[in-house]
Structure 1
Amino acid sequence: MTTWPAAAALWALAYGLLALYWSAGGAGFPFGAADPDPGIDKGMSILGGAHQASAAPVIAVCAMAATVLAGLLAVRTWPGRAGAALEAIAWAVALVLGIVLPDYRPLVAVGHLPVLLAGKPFGWPEDVTIASQVPWPVVNQFICILGGILFAVAALAHRRTRTGACAACGHSGRDHDPARWGAVAVWIAAGVPVLYATTRWAWALGVPFGFSAAELRQMDQELPGIWWVGAAMGSMGLIGSVLTVGLIRPWGEAFPRWIPVLRGRRVPVALAVVPAMAVAMLVTSAGLMFARALYVNPSMGNWAAMGPSLLWPVWGAALAVAAVAYRLRRQTPCARCGDSQSGRGTAPHLPLSSGARAASHNPASAHPGHARHRP
């Protein structure tokens, strides 16, 4: 039995049993009216109108069907169109669980927790706790995201086996040229957060961008510190933009000289790719939620508040593509099959600077820069 499809099957079975518990009237149903967030009635959640008595059995049936799907992928390799169809269904399950079902709250939790931890010793922001950022409905969304990741990896693992790709590196003998399309994706992914940060910093500095000055003051009085929290989030986005550029720059491949112990060493590929893919999923989910909420309630917000958020699915897609291109470019000859991303056992063919090339042989001579550890 293949490991990743088996893990997806176990996840689906466990969630199906939980849904059966909800079907029997058990507590903890995380959707619809059971979700205390006031935004539920405004189209925030795709299951915002769900009722436990009717929705829980449907969720249970879907989860059990997903268990069967993952089980089929686990027990054998299905050739040809049958295998491709099963993989396509698994990808559909992954997209629903990981991107369509969640709303913006997982992203808010991930973004707010560092701000709250930094401000906690100073009692700022007031009346906001860490626990308030991760209530059970949000925890459930993280669980669903985990399920989405498992089904995506299960589909990839089955495809590798079906197409005869190397189990270690996934190479199937095709040439890849990630330089051009990777660079385009990087600049798109780096540009969208700048628009978001511009609006948040404008409000923090008292510039009524998209609001009247009176509305800006009123909201600050009702929610003290709201604009500075937004500015902090915008600043994190700007940091992410800079680090995203590292996906196509030499300083995204070698730790800079000013980092103790790690200086000059190669940046592990996973250290860049995994956070990038995680952020890509979160911002895409959040962007789809804002689009859905605006469709349900067209009068919601204004162009300055909603506009940058509507571009988040573009940001997420571009960031995911940029991360894939980075991985292909950094892929070294495989110890099992002897292939690199070029398919000929050669080093990645997007040229590095002389310093980055030297770092692969002599860590002390690495190109100075900033290691990319977060998108």
Structure 2
Amino acid sequence: MTRTTRNAPSPRAGRGAPPEHRHPAHTPRVPVGWAAFLALIGYGLAQLYWALGGRGFPFGADDANPEYSAFEHIGRAQLAPWLAAGFLLCAAVALLLALPGRRRVPAPVLLGVTALAVAAVLGTLADFRILGNLAYVFMLRFSAINWTVINQVFAVVAVGLMTMSAVAYQRRITGACVSCGRTDSGAGWTSPAAAARWGRKAAYTAVVVPLVYASTRWAWALGYPLGISDKLWQEGKRDHLWLFGAALATMGALGSLLTLGLVQRWGEVFPRWMIGLRGRRVPPALAIVPASLVAVMVTTAGIMYIRLHFQGAFDDPKHNWGATVPETIWPVWGIALAAATLAYYFRRRGACKRCGRGSR
């Protein structure tokens, strides 16, 4: 009879072992997955409450501004049950993503449902009012924030957590580190050198697109009705709308120039003129967090304008294209900004504290 040693390798550590059992870095990060599950099931139950007649339903015909909603003419009784079913289904998928090990449900199904959930929330529930209400936050006018917008933000955060959980699950089942996504086969397009190349193109695109929008607003303020009828321009001039619009466009243009920090040295090391900070490394989160939030907000705003165009919500779009068409290219801005931000992350993340990969 053969004596087994105490340190003999487990059969699970062999070639056929699931990837998550080969390295501690492959073990799941539970908090994100469970946060996604709790957010989605909580909101699904809220939708169920509204479907059963509860007060405070924020979407569709019950929206304070239903003209912006994708469900403008659909009331609570028709819409809430569908939303309840959708969010509860997403909660079930989030639970499967959060639990350790592989699922009997194929991974493409779980990841596909996640992608559909993100598309549905960003394309139908969320809109440009998230971006607009951000100004109220900076002015500390929290009472002016719309109840619908609060629900939009919660829905976006919920599917955002679900996306993070899906990414961790995909990494786990493919043998990558669930923290950084690196594998032993090499970095490829995520390497700092590769990210610097495609990230630079994305950053320049994210700078140009908002300048196209800003140019129309600057033209109106300077007395040129670019893309709008003389009648509309005169109406806006009487109400001083074009000066206000030019001010907002200038803020957006200045913000877009900050995108260059994602590919320039001053985005990594504070420049000399910043007394007290000069020469110090810029914390990556200082650029990544706001850039990611802006990318989501401008993308949802642009999708809303595209949707309203197809719904025929704009008056005389042929002669007043300048008032609405520039906003329809905002999704390009948002996607480019998200790509530039991702490239910045790949360049600056350094060695992974979880798996040790990336150390030089």
TM-score (norm 1): 0.80
1:186 aligns with 2:200: no
Aligned amino acid, residue 334 of structure 2: G
Contact kept? 2:44, 2:85, Cα under 8 Å: yes
Cα deviation, residue 251, structure 1: 1.1
Distance in 2 (alpha carbons) for counterparts of 1:289 and 1:310: 8
- 5 Å-filtered alignment, 1:1-375, equals 2-37=30-65, 40-41=66-67, 44-78=68-102, 82-111=106-135, 113-114=137-138, 131-132=143-144, 134-173=145-184, 174-175=187-188, 176=191, 177-221=194-238, 224-297=239-312, 299-300=314-315, 301=317, 302-340=320-358, 345-346=359-360
Aligned amino acid, residue 21 of structure 1: Y
Aligned amino acid, residue 314 of structure 1: V
Aligned amino acid, residue 277 of structure 2: L
Number of residue pairs aligned between Structure 1 and Structure 2: 323
Cα deviation, residue 278, structure 1: 1.2
Structure 1 gaps of 5+ residues are 118-128, 347-375
SS at match of 2:324: helix
Cα deviation, residue 47, structure 1: 2.3
Change (3 A) 1:205 1:104: same
Aligned to 1:358: none
Contact kept? 1:168, 1:334, Cα under 8 Å: yes
Distance in 1 (alpha carbons) for counterparts of 2:313 and 2:45: 38
Q: Deviations over 1:157-209 (max 9, x none)?
A: 21222222223322124323112211111111110010111111222233222
Aligned amino acid, residue 329 of structure 1: R
Change (3 A) 1:259 1:295: same
Distance in 1 (alpha carbons) for counterparts of 2:104 and 2:270: 44
Cα deviation, residue 113, structure 1: 4.8
Change (3 A) 1:298 1:66: closer
Aligned to 1:361: none
Cα deviation, residue 53, structure 1: 0.9
SS at match of 1:311: helix
Cα deviation, residue 80, structure 1: 9.6
Aligned to 1:371: none
Change (3 A) 1:32 1:79: closer
Cα deviation, residue 263, structure 1: 2.2
Q: Which has the larger radius of gyration?
A: 2
Change (3 A) 1:318 1:6: same
Cα deviation, residue 325, structure 1: 0.9
Cα deviation, residue 336, structure 1: 3.4
Cα deviation, residue 112, structure 1: 5.9
Contact kept? 1:91, 1:155, Cα under 8 Å: no
Contact kept? 1:187, 1:245, Cα under 8 Å: yes
Cα deviation, residue 310, structure 1: 1.0
Aligned amino acid, residue 174 of structure 2: T
Distance in 2 (alpha carbons) for counterparts of 1:98 and 1:299: 21
Task: Judge which range, 310-319 or 167-176, deviates more.
Answer: 167-176
Contact kept? 1:79, 1:162, Cα under 8 Å: no
Contact kept? 2:292, 2:338, Cα under 8 Å: yes
Aligned amino acid, residue 217 of structure 2: R
Contact kept? 2:203, 2:263, Cα under 8 Å: yes
Structure 2 gaps of 5+ residues are 1-27
Distance in 1 (alpha carbons) for counterparts of 2:279 and 2:105: 47
When the two chains are superposed, the root-mean-square deviation of aligned CA atoms in Å is 2.2
Cα deviation, residue 79, structure 1: 6.4
Distance in 1 (alpha carbons) for counterparts of 2:357 and 2:259: 27
Cα deviation, residue 234, structure 1: 0.8
Aligned amino acid, residue 146 of structure 1: V
Contact kept? 1:77, 1:158, Cα under 8 Å: no
Distance in 2 (alpha carbons) for counterparts of 1:5 and 1:230: 41
